[in-house]
Structure 1
């Protein structure tokens, strides 16, 4: 169930009395709601926080706050007693979803990249945020995605809720998220919906770009800020986790699921074994010789909107695959890669 301003969301269409309205109706009602419009304007005016990390152990350098960073298709539920911030970035057509239990402060964040992972992903996200039988008040923030439909193509869907072939990636994902929230029994209180048109800017040629690509949740207060992270803070085990996003597509055990990486109870990162196929290695060997623009337009769903390090990070993944063609070199005896937090807030391989 979706609530806004403390009341159930009302739909304006004639089918609003239906127990199963189309996702596009729910999305339109939310995007045009005065409270959502107001919160979007306010969010756009918040300065973006640039997050960096340091593993330097000098006693003169203060310890950094405990934070958890998420890559594409990952999720994490964090305890405010152990984690100060949780966030993600590098979202263009993806959508970041944050759900926080007002009573306990438990916060779950996911970087969703496809409608296929939404339904099971929500169940994963809520498993440690909502107790069985609990009537918890759940604050919800959706940030990311933009009007990525090709120029001249209307970013709309039919009233059946089924997007057309050229509708882009962000809109179908947003539709699936709000439709799934609507159908569940939990009470989701929408606080931020900075997606699609609210998160779109255009250049002089009319090309669309997201205003913000990431965000950070302060677990103690529930405050949400636009954020970006650098190479030192997208950790731990950056390259292996990036490769896993692609490798999981060939693993049926991850079908329809978000990737589990962070262990809530122990405050550790546990990167489960994943195997990369010869097909991935062939792609790395074949595509590595392409020019940067060719890689950008081949590997991205939104090539004009990617960050300046997108191609660099792709090449780093291919470098790793070429140097470690057998996944068992990375996961000896098929054991996970475990990282514990240091006393200065960083991460150390166990």
Structure 2
């Protein structure tokens, strides 16, 4: 159940029945809700924080990559965040009572159902009684609306394409169907998170955020390479290789161990087929790589192609996955005294 401003949210009206409602009704209704519009305006005015591992070694951070999630205990972790979300959506769920906070970087509607169950497993501890604050940040206006009746929005006749809109709609509809109480605090997605250049090309305003676990407050954020850790390259590779691993179907990637404050990178395999594709891609120009490998070529960060090439170079140099996951064991990292990470 979705709650906004202390009141249950519903798309029902006297002039419409539930059978006539489309799956877009919840998203349309929420994105135009006055309380959430005001929250989006406030979020938009915030200064983006640049996060580096060298800035604040006294604070404990957890960073998640695309398709990963992490649930953190505020007694152990001070901040949790993600970035690089263009058509992806960052989802935050925080228990008001104990501060337990789960963050996911969702990249497809197919992982929403199971992914939400994974996130809630350590956040909700007493049935459906928990009051949960929810924030959605990411996704932008990469959707085209072709309406049958001109300038007015006709939801029943709108043709929706792109990646951001179906993902946002799926997340919100799934939250609405569940029995837990989800208090939507921030819905900074789609049009709210879109800016345009002089040619009318759309870009996301913010692609990341940071959550302060003790208070639940959010700020826009971007991370440098030193703060996207530990095990950056291997974790990025897992995002790609998991699509050929049936054990991860419909799931978010488990990475962080909440109880021990360690990262546990489960083994993943890369195949000869994947290596052959990489050998072909590496010969493409930067522009061709963007068009081939990104869902939003014009909106990617300046280091997008460089990051892909670093992943490919790793795989070419280590074609056998067992060399990375020795004896098929997970790669485990524990936190050091200076706030960094070391391999166990």
Q: TM-score, normalised by structure 2?
A: 0.94
Please state how far the C-alpha of 1:302 moved relative to its aligned partner.
0.2
Query: What is the DSSP-based 3-state SS (H/G/I as helix, E as strand, rest coil) of the residue aligned with 1:111?
Result: strand
Query: Counterparts of 2:278 and 2:64 in 1: how far apart (Å)?
Result: 24
Distance in 1, Cα, partners of 2:261 & 2:89 = 25
TM alignment of 1:323-334, pairs within 5 A: 323-334=317-328
Asked if 2 retains the 8 angstrom alpha-carbon contact of 1:23 and 1:178, the reply is no
Q: Distance in 2 between matches of 1:208 and 1:333?
A: 47
| Bigger mean CA offset, 6-15 vs 260-269 | 6-15
Per the alignment, do residues 238 and 153 of structure 1 end up closer, same or farther by CA in structure 2, a change over 3 Å counting? farther
Q: Given that residues 118 and 177 in structure 1 are in contact (C-alpha distance below 8 angstroms), is that contact kept between their aligned partners in structure 2?
A: yes
In structure 1, the partner of 2:248 is: 254
Distance 2:165 2:216 in 1: 26
Q: Which residue of 2 aligns with 1:319?
A: 313
Structure 1 residue 2 corresponds to structure 2 residue 13: no
Deviation at 1:277, TM superposition (A): 1.0
Alignment of 1:61-80 (within 5 A): 63-80=57-74
CA distance in 1, matches of 2:172, 2:75: 30
The corresponding residue for 2:150 is none
Distance 1:5 1:298 in 2: 43
Within the alignment, does 1:34 sit opposite 2:44 as a pair?
A: no
Structure 2 counterparts to residues 20-99 of structure 1, below 5 A: 21-54=21-54, 63-99=57-93
Do the aligned partners of 2:128 and 2:179 also contact (CA within 8 Å) in 1?
A: no
Which residue is equivalent to 1:159?
Answer: 156
Distance, in Å, in 1 between the alignment partners of 2:76 and 2:188 is 28
Q: Secondary structure at the residue paired with 2:24?
A: helix
* Unmatched segments (≥5 aa) in structure 2: 148-152
CA–CA separation in structure 2 for the residues paired with 1:193 and 1:246: 28
Shift of 1:346: 1.0
Q: Deviations over 1:169-189 (max 9, x none)?
A: 000000000000000000000
Aligned residues: 339
1:197 maps to which of 179, 188, 191: 191
Q: What secondary structure, in the 3-state scheme, does the structure 2 residue paired with 1:233 have? A: coil
Q: TM-score, normalised by structure 1?
A: 0.93
- Tell me, in whole angstroms, the C-alpha distance in 2 between the residues paired with 1:203 and 1:14: 41
Distance of 1:117 and 1:20 partners within structure 2: 26
Deviations, residues 144-175 of structure 1 (Å, cap 9, x unaligned): 0001136x867x89539xx85x6100000000
Instruction: For residue 289 of structure 1, report the CA deviation from its aligned partner.
Output: 1.1
RMSD of aligned Cα (Å): 1.9
Deviation of the 1:130 alpha carbon: 0.2
Name the CA shift for 1:234/1:254 in 2 (closer, same or farther; >3 Å): same
1:99-114 → structure 2 map (5 Å cutoff): 99-114=93-108
The SS at the match of 1:339 is strand
Question: 2:110 & 2:156 partners in 1: Cα distance?
Answer: 20
Provide the rounded CA distance (Å) in 2 between the counterparts of 1:202 and 1:6: 34
Change (3 A) 1:260 1:287: same
Runs of 4+ with >4 A deviation = 12-17
Residue 279 of structure 1 deviates from its aligned partner by 1.5
SS in 2 for 1:23: coil
Deviation at 1:15, TM superposition (A): 7.1
Q: Residue 209 of structure 1 aligns to a residue in which SS?
A: strand
Pairwise CA distance, 1:318: 0.3
- 1:58 corresponds in structure 2 to none
Report SS of the residue matched to 1:228.
strand
- The question of whether the paired residues in 1 share the 8 Å contact of 2:22 and 2:155 is answered with no
